[in-house]
Amino acid sequence: MIEKPLLVLDFDGVIVDGINEYWASSRQTCLNIFSSQEKERILLPNEIPATFKAMRPWVHHGWEMVILAAECSDKNSQLNLKGIQNYSENYSEECSAALIRWSWTPSQLQKALDQTRREAISNNFNQWLNYHQPFSSVVQRLQILESEGLEFAVLTTKSIEFTKKLLSSFGLEPKLIFGHESGSKIDVLNELLHKRIIQGFIEDRRSTLEKVLEDPKARSVPCYLANWGYLKPQDRKNLPSDIKLINLEIFREPISNWP
Domains of the chain in start order, with CATH, are: 2-17+133-257 (3.40.50.1000), 19-128 (no CATH)
Please spell the DSSP secondary structure of 10-33, one letter per residue.
-SBTTTEE-HHHHHHHHHHHHHHH
Of the pLDDT bands very low, low, confident and very high (cuts 50, 70, 90), residue 46 is very high
d(CA 231, CA 145): 25
Total H helices, total E strands in the chain: 14, 8
Q: For residue range 125-138, what is the model confidence (pLDDT) as tens digits?
A: 999 999 999 999 99
DSSP state letter for 220 = G
Q: For residue range 53-97, what is the model confidence (pLDDT) as tens digits?
A: 999 999 988 999 999 999 999 999 999 999 999 999 999 999 999
Tell me the HSE value of 232 on the side-chain side, using a 13 A CA sphere. Answer: 18
Contact 163, 154 (CB under 8 A): yes
DSSP state letter for 154 = E
d(CA 122, CA 120): 5
User: What's the burial of 250, exposed, middle or buried (CB within 10 Å: 0-12/13-18/19+)?
Assistant: middle
pLDDT greater than 80 at residue 3: no
pLDDT greater than 90 at residue 190: yes
Confidence at residue 1, expressed as pLDDT on a 0 to 100 scale = 63
d(CA 23, CA 128): 12
d(CA 48, CA 237): 28
Confidence at residue 210, expressed as pLDDT on a 0 to 100 scale = 96
Average pLDDT value for residue range 30-57: 94
Q: For residue range 18-27, what is the model confidence (pLDDT) as tens digits?
A: 999 999 999 9
**pLDDT over 70 for what percent of the chain?**
99
What phi and psi values does residue 254 have, to the nearest 5 degrees? -55, 140
Of the pLDDT bands very low, low, confident and very high (cuts 50, 70, 90), residue 157 is confident
